[in-house]
């Protein structure tokens, strides 16, 4: 199969059926493909998620849509920078900017070539004519235009604001990019004084080095211990800063002593309280993670050292009451895992926080699959504490198109006709500061990469590039993405689409789950549970991998299972074999007047399966669709229909049905298993159809409705299956004749069996097949076996008497007596029940003893005297 897969990869490239057709009248189905991040190898989650998108794209093409499915890559930001730093063995800031950016681009170019090949290996056929990468000037131009537009709408501001700051990477970090880890730390109990009374006030903190930036002491309003202190003032040890003691609902009375210090800015709670209580701001930590001049004896020390130093100092002065070990959650940088600090820096912001309700209203216009994922967006939006920090102090990203006056700080934004523009290289739109005539300096800041990726639907739809195309393409049909980036990519995309167009970005959003290691844990190199999708493809082929992907449920995390891949391999083989058979023995002809019951039975089942599969595909349940198709294909078509008609090849009805169902089910598998379906099509059906590729065919929507035959056919199928099982039990091959079989039924089932007797006899090579009315089947009770488990408890000591009674009578009569509920044993009346015995029956027809088996609405009898 592997050589065949490679051949089709080459052929498909020539056909180009994945291309979006600008001249087409067909309805458009557009996918806002997640631009694949250009930083390395494809992992199994990517392979699975892109396969899902490809399945949808192929399905929609077959449904007659003009599908917009762009090949695209995300090429901005820190992950690439970090890898390039590692490659160069140098920190970014030690390399000239232009040179570093060039290295990043080269790195991405190489990765993109590799990743294109990986997509090809998987059979993921994205449209190269719609290609984009987010670091290209044509893309960054749109990012900059979107910023200028946001600026004009008053949605951008420059603010002194606490931001999450990674001292190692030297950049602001979005909330969504934080990673938390548990760490042991020390809770330090320090002695404060109450200014008004002179009494001691003990306060515990994990960040004693921030004493220098204390703004307030907070206690819970209902904490009895501190009621009297609210409104008074606390004097901080060592720095002697005097701050007010205030009541604050957010304080946890069980933490430390229940009195806490609020600084600028120890953690997020501090930030919230500083703004809520309109406290002052003391810059205690600088961009390199060192204590500032404000911190007196700690000035210049890195944070961790300062913490130790202040503890020593407190100890020395007798102000340290006790130390306690505790575990707490530390926010760290998602790239380098350094603990982040809150620092005050000037940054650019999008005003997003106040638009929460509008975002949620727009989110309601989008169909979410699965529906419950929308809740995650709601929770996120409702938990937001501040606006979106859009600036980063890095190199490899889209430059912020602004110039700043060196004298008065006035900001000049690029004109709309300027982008793509690099303010470090290109002149500002005006020569001097319009306010003071000072010199303008180009900004060296860049955008958070979500600023680029949050406009993918706008870029895709030619926003600000071609109004006519934009009208046609926006909103897009679908976004598929994983659940971990709902709070970033989904949220940012919706809000920017709202600001820039007033509309929802897509009609549907599908949230995909994670793929876990085979052991059910996240894949981690150190746990040895990483599965490389390319190795899976190397061993099994792309289709079996895609089969695994198609069996994962959207929104749910799924452990990778080799078992499913193996099952996929078997399905691929079976599809090939069944197509070979169906293709060679079929014809693309009009439906003949006469169809046999099993023909109608399979056509009916095929129609029902396709209806169900279609409904599942339309609600993005590729897993359910695959199950329906597989069940029909194995359980109805391949195992039963094909086997049953081998004796009547060449008949028109057989040829018609084999073609209709054989070619139909092959098409239905095509979006999932593009290689084997193409290969089988080219070998066995193309001569009858003429299309260049199965992927140009339409999705089957058969409408054969034969409910009566569906029911009767089920019994015929069961009869054949029963005979096959009997042969297997006797060790006979399916081709070996079986001498005599009797089938019993009633009414229309009997009539149907009679009419199709030659089908049954032919399919199973029955020497002599009798079809008889059920009433002709004779039953005799030959013995009653005592059932001790129920006898014991009912009869206690009379068990042996009961068994004797059983043996002495005629079994049929004894059973009647048992059914009456009472018998007399040894002169005693006892209660009895049918369940006290096991009935042994003998069946016969006209005196010929039979072994019987139930088969649908019929009974199959095999003579036991041979």
Q: Given the complex with Zn ion, which of 436 and 846 has the nearer CB atom?
A: 436
Per-residue x/- marks for Zn ion, 286-325, CB under 5 A?
Answer: ----------------------------------------
What phi and psi, each to the nearest 5 degrees, are found at residue 398? Answer: -75, 125
Place of tokens 């690029």: 414
Q: Given the complex with Zn ion, which of 136 and 411 has the nearer CB atom?
A: 411
Question: What is the C-alpha separation between 313 and 205, in angstroms, rounded?
Answer: 15
Peptide bond into 370 cis (omega under 30): yes
Place of tokens 């498909």: 12
Q: Given the complex with Zn ion, which of 236 and 440 has the nearer CB atom?
A: 440
Q: Given the complex with Zn ion, which of 339 and 370 has the nearer CB atom?
A: 339
| Span from 433-441, 508-516, 625-633, 763-771 in contact with Zn ion (CB under 5 A) | 433-441
Q: Given the complex with Zn ion, which of 104 and 155 has the nearer CB atom?
A: 104
Q: How far is the CB of 135 from Zn ion (least distance, A)?
A: 21
Q: Given the complex with Zn ion, which of 88 and 830 has the nearer CB atom?
A: 88
- What the block records as the tokens of 735 is 């081709």
Q: Given the complex with Zn ion, which of 336 and 430 has the nearer CB atom?
A: 336
**Among 333, 458, 478, 818, which residue interacts with Zn ion (rule: CB under 5 A)?**
333
Q: Does 19 bind Zn ion (CB under 5 A)?
A: no
| Span from 335-343, 363-371, 543-551, 562-570 in contact with Zn ion (CB under 5 A) | 335-343
Cβ atoms 188, 323 nearer than 8 A: yes
Look up residue 65 and give its DSSP letter: -
| Span from 149-157, 323-331, 436-444, 697-705 in contact with Zn ion (CB under 5 A) | 436-444
Pairing of strands 178-194, 200-205: antiparallel
Q: Given the complex with Zn ion, which of 353 and 435 has the nearer CB atom?
A: 435
Q: How far is the CB of 94 from Zn ion (least distance, A)?
A: 16
| Span from 276-284, 329-337, 657-665, 807-815 in contact with Zn ion (CB under 5 A) | 329-337
Q: How far is the CB of 307 from Zn ion (least distance, A)?
A: 20
Q: Given the complex with Zn ion, which of 108 and 340 has the nearer CB atom?
A: 340
Q: Given the complex with Zn ion, which of 333 and 741 has the nearer CB atom?
A: 333
Cβ atoms within 10 Å of 131's Cβ, excluding its own: 14
Q: Does 819 bind Zn ion (CB under 5 A)?
A: no
For the chain, helix, strand, coil in percent to 5 are 45, 25, 30
Q: Given the complex with Zn ion, which of 333 and 676 has the nearer CB atom?
A: 333
Instruction: Name the nearest CA neighbour of 339 among 348, 349, 347, 329.
Output: 329
Q: Which residues pair with 219 in a beta bridge?
A: 247, 259
Alpha-carbon torsion (303, 306, 310, 311), positive or negative: positive
Q: How far is the CB of 414 from Zn ion (least distance, A)?
A: 17
Q: Is 414 helix (H, G, I), strand (E, B) or coil?
A: coil
- What the block records as the tokens of 822 is 């009472």
Q: Is 457 left (phi over 0), alpha (psi -120 to 50) or beta?
A: alpha
Q: How far is the CB of 342 from Zn ion (least distance, A)?
A: 15
Per-residue x/- marks for Zn ion, 145-184, CB under 5 A?
Answer: ---------------------x-xx---------------
Q: Does 430 bind Zn ion (CB under 5 A)?
A: no
Q: How far is the CB of 285 from Zn ion (least distance, A)?
A: 15
Q: Does 589 bind Zn ion (CB under 5 A)?
A: no
- What the block records as the tokens of 820 is 């009456």
Q: How far is the CB of 405 from Zn ion (least distance, A)?
A: 3
Q: How far is the CB of 624 from Zn ion (least distance, A)?
A: 42
User: Within its chain, how far is the Cα of 771 from the centroid?
Assistant: 54
Q: Given the complex with Zn ion, which of 73 and 450 has the nearer CB atom?
A: 450
Q: Given the complex with Zn ion, which of 407 and 817 has the nearer CB atom?
A: 407
Cβ atoms 444, 395 nearer than 8 A: no
Q: Which residues pair with 291 in a beta bridge?
A: 285
Q: Largest Cα–Cα distance in the chain? A: 126
DSSP 617-634: HHTT-HHHHHHHHHHHII
Q: Does 433 bind Zn ion (CB under 5 A)?
A: yes
Q: How far is the CB of 174 from Zn ion (least distance, A)?
A: 13
Q: How far is the CB of 419 from Zn ion (least distance, A)?
A: 23
- What the block records as the tokens of 240 is 């002697």
User: Within its chain, how far is the Cα of 545 from the centroid?
Assistant: 16
Q: How far is the CB of 433 from Zn ion (least distance, A)?
A: 3
Place of tokens 């069980």: 254
Exposure string over 175-189, b if 16+ CB within 10 A, otherwise e: bbbbeeeeeeeebbb
- What the block records as the tokens of 784 is 């009653």
Q: Does 435 bind Zn ion (CB under 5 A)?
A: yes
Q: Which helix (H) or strand (E) segment is 356 a member of?
A: helix 356-364
What phi and psi, each to the nearest 5 degrees, are found at residue 220? Answer: -70, 140
Q: How far is the CB of 393 from Zn ion (least distance, A)?
A: 12
Could you tell me the CA-to-CA distances from 2 to 116, 637, 671, 795 in Å, in that order? Answer: 19, 26, 18, 70
Look up residue 71 and give its DSSP letter: E
Q: Which helix (H) or strand (E) segment is 793 a member of?
A: helix 788-795
Q: How far is the CB of 182 from Zn ion (least distance, A)?
A: 19
Q: Is 466 helix (H, G, I), strand (E, B) or coil?
A: coil
Considering CB under 5 A, how many residues would be counted as binding Zn ion? 15
Q: How far is the CB of 167 from Zn ion (least distance, A)?
A: 8
Q: How far is the CB of 298 from Zn ion (least distance, A)?
A: 23
Q: Does 836 bind Zn ion (CB under 5 A)?
A: no
| Span from 14-22, 428-436, 556-564, 656-664 in contact with Zn ion (CB under 5 A) | 428-436
Cβ atoms within 10 Å of 339's Cβ, excluding its own: 16
Q: Which helix (H) or strand (E) segment is 227 a member of?
A: none
Question: What is the C-alpha separation between 258 and 242, in angstroms, rounded?
Answer: 19
| Span from 94-102, 350-358, 438-446, 543-551 in contact with Zn ion (CB under 5 A) | 438-446
Q: Is 780 helix (H, G, I), strand (E, B) or coil?
A: strand
Q: Given the complex with Zn ion, which of 85 and 248 has the nearer CB atom?
A: 85
**Among 438, 522, 786, 849, which residue interacts with Zn ion (rule: CB under 5 A)?**
438
Q: How far is the CB of 172 from Zn ion (least distance, A)?
A: 11
- In sequence order, the 6+-apart residues with CB closer than 8 A to the CB of 552 are 48, 52, 513, 515, 558, 623
Hey, which residues between 392 and 411 contact Zn ion (CB under 5 A)? Answer: 405, 407-408, 410
Q: Given the complex with Zn ion, which of 173 and 306 has the nearer CB atom?
A: 173
Hey, which residues between 336 and 395 contact Zn ion (CB under 5 A)? Answer: 336, 338
Q: Given the complex with Zn ion, which of 336 and 824 has the nearer CB atom?
A: 336
DSSP 689-725: H--S-GGGSPPP------HHHHHHHHHHHHHHHHHHH
Q: How far is the CB of 434 from Zn ion (least distance, A)?
A: 8
Tell me the residue ranges of DSSP E strands in 410-532.
411-413, 440-442, 446-447, 476-482, 506-512, 515-516
Q: Given the complex with Zn ion, which of 408 and 824 has the nearer CB atom?
A: 408
Q: Given the complex with Zn ion, which of 180 and 788 has the nearer CB atom?
A: 180
Instruction: Name the nearest CA neighbour of 261 among 281, 280, 244, 285.
Output: 244
Q: How far is the CB of 437 from Zn ion (least distance, A)?
A: 7
Q: Does 710 bind Zn ion (CB under 5 A)?
A: no
Contact footprint for Zn ion (CB under 5 A): 166, 168-169, 333, 335-336, 338, 405, 407-408, 410, 433, 435-436, 438
């Amino acid at each position: 199969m592997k050589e065949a897969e490679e051949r089709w990869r080459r052929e498909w490239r020539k056909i180009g059926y994945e291309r979006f057709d600008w001249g087409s009248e067909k309805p458009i189905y557009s996918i806002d493909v997640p631009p694949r991040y250009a930083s390395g190898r494809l992992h199994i989650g990517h392979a699975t998620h892109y396969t899902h998108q490809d399945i949808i794209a192929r399905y929609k093409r077959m449904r007659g849509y003009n599908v917009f499915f762009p090949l695209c890559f995300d090429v901005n930001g820190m992950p690439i920078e970090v890898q390039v730093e590692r490659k160069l063995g140098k920190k970014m800031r030690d390399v000239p900017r232009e040179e570093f950016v060039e290295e990043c681009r080269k790195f991405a170019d190489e990765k993109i070539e590799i990743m294109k090949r990986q997509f090809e290996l998987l059979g993921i056929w994205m449209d190269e004519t719609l290609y984009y990468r987010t670091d290209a000037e044509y893309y960054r131009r749109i990012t900059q235009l979107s910023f200028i537009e946001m600026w004009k709408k008053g949605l951008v501001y420059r603010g002194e604001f606490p931001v999450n700051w990674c001292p190692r990477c030297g950049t602001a970090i979005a909330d969504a990019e934080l990673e938390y880890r548990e760490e042991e730390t020390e809770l330090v109990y320090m002695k404060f004084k109450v200014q008004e009374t002179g009494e001691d006030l003990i306060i515990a903190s994990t960040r004693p080095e921030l004493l220098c930036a204390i703004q307030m002491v907070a206690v819970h309003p209902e904490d009895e211990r501190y009621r009297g202190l609210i409104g008074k003032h606390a004097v901080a040890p060592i720095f002697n800063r005097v701050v007010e003691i205030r009541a604050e609902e957010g304080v946890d009375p069980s933490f430390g002593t229940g009195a806490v210090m609020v600084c600028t800015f120890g953690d997020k709670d501090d930030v919230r309280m500083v703004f809520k209580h309109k406290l002052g701001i003391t810059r205690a930590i600088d961009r390199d993670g060192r204590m500032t001049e404000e911190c007196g004896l700690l000035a210049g020390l890195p944070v961790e050292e300062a913490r130790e130093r202040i503890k020593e100092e407190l100890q020395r002065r007798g102000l340290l009451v006790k130390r306690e070990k505790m575990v707490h959650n530390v926010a760290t940088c998602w790239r380098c895992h350094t603990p982040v600090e809150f620092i005050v820096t000037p940054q650019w912001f999008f005003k997003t926080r106040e638009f929460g309700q509008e975002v949620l209203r727009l989110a309601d216009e989008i169909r979410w699959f699965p529906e419950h994922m929308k809740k995650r967006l709601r929770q996120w939006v409702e938990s937001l504490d501040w606006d979106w920090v859009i600036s980063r102090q890095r190199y490899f990203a889209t430059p912020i198109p602004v110039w700043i006056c060196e004298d008065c700080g006035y900001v000049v934004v690029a004109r709309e006709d300027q982008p793509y523009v690099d303010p470090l290289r290109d002149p500002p739109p005006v020569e001097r500061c319009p306010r003071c005539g000072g010199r303008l300096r180009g900004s060296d800041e860049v955008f958070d990469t979500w600023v680029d990726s949050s406009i993918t639907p706008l870029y895709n739809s030619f926003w600000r590039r071609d109004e006519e195309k934009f009208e046609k393409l926006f909103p897009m049909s679908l976004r598929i993405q994983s659940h971990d980036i709902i709070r970033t990519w989904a949220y940012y995309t919706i809000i920017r689409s709202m600001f820039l167009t007033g509309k929802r970005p897509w009609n549907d959003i599908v949230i995909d789950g994670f793929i876990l290691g085979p052991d059910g844990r996240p894949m981690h190199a150190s746990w040895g549970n990483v599965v490389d999708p390319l190795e899976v493809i190397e061993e099994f082929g792309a289709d079996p991998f895609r089969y695994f992907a198609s069996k994962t449920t959207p929104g749910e995390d799924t452990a990778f299972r080799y078992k499913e891949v193996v099952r996929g391999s078997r399905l691929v083989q079976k599809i090939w074999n069944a197509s070979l058979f169906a293709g060679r023995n079929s014809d693309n002809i009009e439906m003949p007047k006469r169809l046999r019951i099993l023909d109608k039975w399979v056509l009916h089942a095929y129609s029902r399966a396709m209806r169900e599969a279609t409904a599942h595909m339309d609600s993005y349940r590729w897993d359910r669709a695959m199950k329906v198709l597989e069940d029909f294909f194995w359980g109805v078509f391949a195992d039963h229909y094909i086997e049953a008609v081998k004796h009547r090849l060449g008949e028109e009805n057989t040829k018609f049905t084999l073609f209709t169902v054989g070619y139909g089910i092959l098409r239905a598998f095509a979006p999932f298993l593009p290689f084997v379906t193409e290969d089988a099509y080219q070998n066995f059906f193309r001569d009858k159809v003429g299309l260049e590729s199965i992927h140009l065919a339409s999705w089957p929507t058969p409408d054969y409705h034969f409910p009566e035959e569906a029911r009767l056919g089920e019994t015929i199928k069961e009869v054949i299956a029963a005979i096959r099982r009997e042969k297997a039990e006797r060790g006979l091959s399916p081709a070996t004749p079986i001498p005599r079989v009797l089938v019993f039924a009633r009414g229309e089932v009997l009539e149907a069996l009679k009419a199709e007797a030659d089908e049954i006899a032919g399919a199973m090579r029955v020497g002599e097949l009798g079809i008889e009315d059920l009433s002709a089947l004779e039953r005799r009770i030959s013995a009653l076996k005592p059932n001790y488990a129920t006898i014991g408890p009912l009869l206690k000591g009379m068990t042996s008497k009961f068994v004797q009674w059983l043996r002495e009578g005629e079994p049929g009569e004894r059973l009647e007596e048992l059914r009456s509920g009472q018998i007399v044993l040894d002169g005693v009346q006892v209660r009895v029940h049918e369940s006290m015995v096991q009935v042994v029956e003998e069946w016969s027809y006209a005196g010929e003893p039979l072994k019987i088996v139930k088969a649908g609405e019929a009974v199959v009898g095999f003579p036991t005297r041979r």
